[in-house]
Amino acid sequence: MTPGGEPLLHPAELSHAVPRHRAKVGSLGCLCKTNSFSSSICDDTSIELFDVKEEEIVSLEEADHLRPLETPISHPNKKLFYSVGSQYPGHLSSEHPTRDRKRLVSWGGMEQHAFEISSTPSRVQEKLQERLSRSQGARHKSGQLDDNVFREQNPRLIYIDDPKRTNDKFEFSSNEIRTSKYTLITFLPKNLFIQFHRVAYLYFLAIAALNQLPPLAVFGRTVSLFPLLFVLTVTAVKDGYEDWRRHRSDRKENNREALVFQSGQFEPKKWKKIQAGEVVKIWANETIPCDMVLLGTSDPSGIAYIQTMNLDGESNLKTRYARQETASVVANCGSISGLVRCEQPNRNIYEFTANMEFRGHKFPLSQSNIILRGCQLKNTEWVIGVVVYTGQETKAMLNSAASPAKRSKLEGYMNRETLWLSIFLLIMCSVVALGMGLWLERHKEQLDTLPYYRKRYFTQGRKDGKRYKYYGIAMETFFSFLSSIIVFQIMIPISLYITMELVRLGQSYFMIGDKHMYDSSTDSRFQCRSLNINEDLGQIRYIFSDKTGTLTQNKMEFRRASVHGKNYGASLLPAESLHEVNVAGFPRRWKLQSEISVDLELMGMLHKDVDGEDKIAAHEFFLTLAACNTVIPIITPGLPAGDPGCDLLENMEEIVYQGESPDEQALVAAASAYGYTLCERTSGHIVVDVNGQKLRLDVLGLHEFDSVRKRMSVVIRFPDNSVKVLVKGADISMFSTFAKGTENDDFIRISTQGHLTQYSSLGLRTLVVAARDLIGEELEEWQCMYEDASTSLTDRAAKLRQTAALVECNLRLLGATGIEDKLQDGVPEAIESLRQAGIKVWVLTGDKQETAISIGLSCKLLTTDMHQIIINGSAEDECRNLLLEAKSKYCHNPSNCSDQQWKWTKDAAMDYLGILDYSKTGNRSAWSFGKEESMGSPSLALIIDGTSLVYILEKDLEAELFELATACRVVLCCRVAPLQKAGVVDLVKSRTDDMTLAIGDGANDVSMIQMADVGVGICGQEGRQAVMASDFAMGQFRFLKRLLLVHGHWNYQRVGYLVLYNFYRNAVFVFMLFWYILCTAFSTTSALTDWSSVFYSVIYTSVPTIVVGILDKDLSHRTLLQHPKLYGAGHRQESYNLHLFWFTMLDTLWQSLFLFYIPLYTYRGSSIDIWSLGSLWTIAVVILVNVHLAMDIQRWVTITHAAVWGSIVITYACMVVLDSIPVFPNYWTIYHLALSPTYWLTILLIIIVALLPRFFCKVVYQIIWPSDIQIAREAEAQRKRSNFEPKPGRDSG
C-alpha cells in the first residue's frame, strides 16, 4: 500500500503470494556479487594485468533473506525443496557492492580481461589513454566511479512514490529525450557552421565573395555562387532529412506509455511526463522507460530477467534483483515509502552506488538492483520500480555519443597534393598579375584609347571625362591577382569531396551485398560502419587479432577432466548414446540443448556404490562445476508423446543454460551430462539434480571472479547443515592456495599439473577446481566480514578482498578441466593468405602461453621451423636483459635490427612477386606466381606475456620491443589486458607509417579496435561492443581475407586513380584558361561562358568519375584470392604516390598546351569569333578527359559505356541549349561550328596529339617494365581467350 493505504497490487495480480511465516536460518541467505580480490599478496599498484573481457557478468545477486521455505516456487511444475535446519536472523542482510571495474569473466585458463584503473594510474595507462584520446578525437570519460562517491559529492535524493517532494527544487530533468541536432530556428545557422568546418568550403566561399566585388566580377555574380550553393544545399538536405528522422523517432519514443502509480492505481502515462520518484510497473517484453530501482517482481524472490541489447548489444539475459525487504512488501500489498540516496548521473552502465532507507532500515543498492532505460523485460511477468534517472540523465542517453571518426591515409596524401596545387595556383596568379603590371606599364600612354583599360569615359553626358574602371597600375595588378584566383578556382577540386563520398558509398553497397561475406550461422551480413576509410583496406601491413571468439568459435566443449590425479577424456562418447539411461539405471530427466560427450570410465566411477576417495573427489568436482557459477537454467516442457523414443523421453525436460560466459555454460552442461544438473537458481539457493535426486543448496555468499584473484568461490550450506567453499580458477592463482597435505596430496598435485600442461599443449582452456570445509569460528568470522563488506559504502573493495582471502585458502585440490574452443572455419587458410600478401598477423590474447602457442600452430600462425623467442620477465631488468639477449642472438647487431628488418622487407617485396622475365622467356603464358623465397634468415616468432608488457610499455623499453617484434614474422602476446592490447597497437602505429588493422569480438577489444587505423568487429558470442566500436563488422574471421585481398585492393586502386584523375581533369581545364589569359594581355577574360565553366566539374565530367570509382576492377576476385601477393601493390602505393602525381601534372601540362594551341592556330586568320572558339575548347576538353579516362578503364560494362560516352552526349546537349538562348553572347555558335569539317578534324587532332605520349608510355612500361598487376591482367585475359578457342582435334562439323 501507499502511505495513503492504497495497495500497489490488486489481489488478482498476486499469482504468487509470499506467506508471512519465516523460518529461522542461521546464515545469510544470499548470493552476493562482489568486487573481491585475493589476499592482499598483491598491491593495487603492482597488479598483474590479465585480459578480462570488458563485458558485464551479471551474476545472481543476493536477496537479503532466504525465501520463506513454504513459499511456492514461481515456476509451475516445480516441486518444493527444503533445506535442513536452516535458520537466519532477520536483521542480517547482504548486498552486492559497487564494482570499481567493469568486467566479464571467462573462467579458468581461459581469457581473463580487466580494465585495472586504479586510483593512482600508472604512467603507461595515462600515456595510452592520452594516445587513445588523440587517435579518436573527443571521447567520453571513463565511467569509472569512486567507492567514496557519497563523500565527494552530494547524493541525489529520491522519495519513493513522492515525485512532488523529489522534484521540489526542479533539479531533475524530465523524461523527454532529444537525439536531434537541429530545430527549425537553429537548422540553417548551425548546419552552415558545421559544414564550413571544411577548409575547402571556406576557400570557395571566399572566391564567391571576391566575385561579388565590381572590380573582380569575372563570372556572373549568381553563376559564381552556384557550385558552393549546390554542395551546401545537397549536404543540408541530407542532414535535414536525417534530423527529421531523429525528430520522428524522438516523438514516437516520448509518446509511448507506461503504467505509473497514481491515485491509488497504475494508470497509463506518456514516457515524457514520467518524473523521478514515481513508481512504475513494467510488463513482460516491454521496454524500460527510465532508470529504475527495482522494488518488486512477479517472482517471490525478487528476480527479474532483462535483455540489454539496446544498451550494450548483448543478447544474453541478465539478472536483476529487488531487495527482499521491498519485494516481500510489494508482493503482500504493503505500503511503499522510503528514501533512495544515489550517485549523480554518470555514463557507467556497469555500476550503481546507492542505499535505501525503508521502514527504519538502511541497506545498500548496487548495479544489480537497477534496470536501465532501453532494456527489455524478459521471462518475468512484471516488475515494479521507482524512477531515479530520467530523460537525458539516464545512463543510456549519457552513453549515446557517436564513435570517433577516422580519416584515411590516402586522404592525408591528397591534402599534401592539394597543397602543391595551391602553390601552382598562386604561381599562375602571380604570373598573370606580374604580366598585367608589365603590360600596363608598357601601354600606359595608350590607356585612354584602349576599350578595356581606358582611364576615362568617352561618352557625352554627366560621366564624360570621369575615371572609368581604372585604379592605377598597382591596384590593377592586385585586382588581376585576385581575379586570377577566381578564374582558376577549380584548380582546388571542390567536387572531389562529394565525388569521394559517393564513390565510398557505392563501394560500401557492394561490400555489404557480397554474398561471400555473409555468415549463415549468425545470419549476419558484412557491415560498413565507417565510409571514410574504404581505401585503407588495401594498404594494411599489420593485423592485430584477438583469439577467443575471433580466431576460435567461442563455443566451448568440455573435453578433458583431471579428477583426483587421474586423467579422463581420452575416449569420449556422446551422452545421448547411453540410451538416455544413466549407468545406475535412473532415467535421465534432462535433455541438454547441445550434445555433450562423456568419458565412460569417469561416468562409471560416479555411479559406483562404494564411497572411495576417487568417487568423493569426483562428486565434489562436478558439484563445484554445477554450483560455482552465475548460470541461469531455463527449463522447457518435455517431449510430447508419440515422438520416436517417447517411452524414454516423454518425461524429459529440455534445459537451456543462460550465461554471459560460454566457458561457464560449457562447464555446467558438462556437469549435467555426468548427472549433476543445475535445474533451479534463486537469490538465496540453488537446486542440483544429482542422478534424479534433488539437492537444495543454500548459497551463503558468492565471491565473483576478478583479475587479481583470478578465481571464483561460492559458500554453500548443504542439507546436513555442513558448509563448504567451492572454488574454481586459473592454475597460476590456485596452486598457491592449497593446504599442505600428505604425500598422496602432493602426488595428486603433481599429476594435475602434468595434466594441465598436456591440456594446454592440445590447445585446451584450463581450469582448476578445489574445495574446503568451513566450520566453527571461521564460518562466523567470514559471515561477519562478508556482511560488513557487502553493505559498506566506503572501501567496499578492500573489505571484500579480505573476506575472500579468509576462505580461499587451505583448499583441497579436486581436479582440473580442459575446454576446447575450436577454430573457426577457414582461419588457417585465411592467415596463410594474409601472410603471403605481406601482412603480419599479431595475436593478442588473455590465454595461457601454452594454449596460445597450440592455437597458433593449429591456425598456421606458427610453424614448427620457427625460432620462438619467449619473453616472460617478472621485473624491468629481467625484461630488458631478455630483449637485448634476443636482439643480439637473432639480429646479430642490436642497433641494426630495424635496418635488417627493412632489408628483409625490401628483399621480400622484390622476391615475392614471382614474376618471370619476359625479355628472357618471351613467353607470357608462362606467368605464374612463385612460392615465397627464403629470406636467408631464420623465421622468428616472438611470444611475450602481459607481465612483461607491463614493464616494457611502462619503463620505456618500447623501442627495444619494437625493433625485436618487427624483425619477427609472428608476434604472440599472452595474458594481456585490454589497455595493453591498445598499447601494442600504438607501439607499431606510432613508429611506422604502415597501416594497422585490429579485429576482435568482445568489449575487451574495443580499445585496440579504436586505436588501430582500421577496426573490424566480429559478430560473435560476446555481445556487440566490438561491432559498435568498429569501422567494419563481419561474422567470421575468414571473411577478412576477402575484405582485404579483394575489396581492399579494388577500393585502393579505384580511389587512388579517382584522386589523380580529378586533379588532372581540373588542372587541364585551368591550364587551358591560363594559356588563353597569356594571349589576351593578362586580362583574366574568358572565351568560355560562365555556365560552361560551372558545369564542367558538376555535370560534364562528374558521372564517369563516380561510375569508374565504384565499378572498375583491375583483376577478378578469383585472381586476387588465388595470388595473395598481388595485394602488395597497396603496400608499394602503386595506385597513388608522389611520383604518379608529378607524372600526371606533366601529362596535364602537355595536353593543355595542345588543347589550347591546336584550335588557336587552326582558326588563325579566320573570321571565327571568340565565343565560337570557346565553344570548341569546351567540347574538346570534355572529350579529351573522357577519352583519357577510357584509356585507363580496366573493366568495361554497360553502365561504364553509358557514363563515359553519355557524358559527351550530355555536354553537347547542354551546349545546344545554352547556345539557343538569345540573351547569351554565344548564341547559335554551336550550330555554325558543327557544320564545318574543320571543327571535327580539330577535335580529333587534339585527342590524338594530346594523348599520344601517354599511350606511348603505357605501352613501353607494359612491355619492358610490367607490374605484377599488368602481368596478372594479361594472364587472366589469355586464360579467357584459351577458354573460347576450339579444342584441337575436335570435329568442327
Residues catalogued as catalytic: 546
- In angstroms, the CA 262 to CA 290 distance is 17
With a CB cutoff of 8 Å and minimum separation 6, the contacts of 340 are 157, 158, 160, 293, 354, 355, 356, 357, 365, 386, 388
Q: What angle do CA 80, 83, 86 make, to 5 degrees?
A: 135
According to DSSP, residue 403 is labeled P
3-state secondary structure of 33: coil
CB atoms within 10 A of CB 123: 11
- In angstroms, the CA 759 to CA 751 distance is 12
CB atoms within 10 A of CB 695: 18
CB atoms within 10 A of CB 54: 26
Q: At what angle do helices 1170-1192 and 1102-1111 cross, to 10 degrees?
A: 0
Distance of CA 1278 to the CA centre of its chain: 42
Contact 609, 670 (CB under 8 A): no
What residues form DSSP beta bridges with 812? 771
- In angstroms, the CA 221 to CA 212 distance is 6
CB atoms within 10 A of CB 398: 17
Distance of CA 272 to the CA centre of its chain: 32
Q: List the 1014-1018 sheet strands across, edge first.
A: 527-528, 1032-1034, 1014-1018, 995-1000, 540-545, 840-844, 970-974, 940-945, 867-871
3-state secondary structure of 276: coil
Contact 855, 551 (CB under 8 A): yes
Distance of CA 266 to the CA centre of its chain: 42
Cell numbers at 1043, concatenated:
575484405
Contact 277, 387 (CB under 8 A): yes
Cell numbers at 639, concatenated:
517431449
- Pseudo-torsion of CA 1080, 1082, 1085, 1091, nearest 10°? 110
With a CB cutoff of 8 Å and minimum separation 6, the contacts of 473 are 437, 440, 441, 444
Distance of CA 984 to the CA centre of its chain: 17
Cell numbers at 110, concatenated:
581461459
Cell numbers at 623, concatenated:
558439484
Phi/psi at 576 (5° precision): -70, -20
SS3 track for 1064-1121? HHHHHHHHHHHHHHHCCCCCCCCCCCHHHHHHHHHHHCHHHHHHHHHHCCCCCHHHHH
Helical H segments across 287-408, by residue range: 309-312, 324-331, 395-398
- DSSP string of 558-591? EEEEEETTEEE-SSEEEGGGGTTB-TTSPBP-EE
- In angstroms, the CA 146 to CA 348 distance is 11
According to DSSP, residue 445 is labeled G
Question: Of 636, 630, 685, whose CA–CA distance to 658 is shortest?
Answer: 630
- In angstroms, the CA 734 to CA 736 distance is 5
With a CB cutoff of 8 Å and minimum separation 6, the contacts of 531 are 501, 504, 505, 508
- In angstroms, the CA 240 to CA 246 distance is 10
Strand 995-1000 relative to strand 1014-1018, pairing: parallel
- DSSP string of 687-748? EEEETTEEEEEEEEEEE---TTT-EEEEEEE-TTS-EEEEEEE-HHHHGGGBPP--HHHHHH
